[in-house]
Structure 1
Amino acid sequence: MNTNSADATAVATAVFSACPNAALQARHMASHILTTVCDDPELRADAELTVSELVTNAAKAATSDVTVTVVAFPDGVHIEVMDQDSSHIPLQDAPGSDAEHGRGLLIVHQLSTRCGCDVIGTGKRVWADLDSRPVKPLLEQASLLSLALHPDDIAPVGPAAPVAPVS
């Protein structure tokens, strides 16, 4: 994705208090801007979830306001979440199977093509780039499906039934 700001189709920046509903407010902001410029509903949903996860982390760790920027490009979305607390750099840990928290950065990593964290002065900027996914034409999808399910490629599950000779 080209992240040259001159190529952006829309930019939205908002500042939210580091409070429990900051993620919801930021998600609504992202939804509003992306609904007007992004035709890909899957990309919009992924971007909204990414905003929500990044803002949730920032609101829990930061003692300052959280600044969210969403930049839409013709081929994707760039998201930045900034706060003034560089003492809490987000780390991607593997949560235990019974953990109630700790999967946000794993989700962001899976949804984005690139993501990272930069220390800026006394604060930090956590960012993610999400690229549009080309949608295969229906005919191509059907062709790929028929290749994937070709009878010669399917191994029998149980004992083979006897085949009667064709006369």
Structure 2
Amino acid sequence: MESTNQTAVSEFLLLRLTYDPALEPLIFSLFLSMCLVTILGNLLIILDIYSDSNLHTPMYFFLCNLSFNDICTSMTTIPKMLVNILRGDQSITYTGCLTQVAFVMLSSFWENILLAVMAYDRYVAICHSLRYTVIMKPCLCILLVLVSLFVSIVDALLHTLWLLQLSFCRDPEVPQFF
């Protein structure tokens, strides 16, 4: 017997953070300001690392990628939440929900692997300080970031494909847990 997806729900309803209409502008401005501060702060880190040649080291290269990942993480769920608050429509399509889940997993996995890569960089810097520049060549740093991104994409894709096998035919309401 072949298992198929029996999804009867075409969209989900994201439950509101509050049902008090007077608090919605406050929540909207709070999340918008947090998102803008996060994006601006990470862009400043990236621009600072790019513009200062003293910061062109493996540690700052990984930090730059971590900042980029943080921007991507912020842009995964917050814009949809802001649009839902503005429009008063709390729905998200099945495809949109799966896409959002895939990007949340991708950015989470990538962040964890980048942190492990940064830990390896610090290990080499401390334990093999005389050979650090020989070991941590720029091509190895780029390779480590690309491999971590590739592993994260494959992992997020597999989890999303497994999620497609589940049936969602009951309550279409999803709490706002982010």
Q: Does the TM-score normalized on the shorter chain lie above 0.5?
A: no
Does 1 or 2 have the higher relative contact order (CA < 8 Å, sep 6+)? 2
Q: Considering fraction of residues, name the structure with more helix.
A: 2
Q: Considering fraction of residues, name the structure with more strand.
A: 1
TM normalised by structure 2 equals: 0.30
Q: Of the two, which has the highest radius of gyration?
A: 1
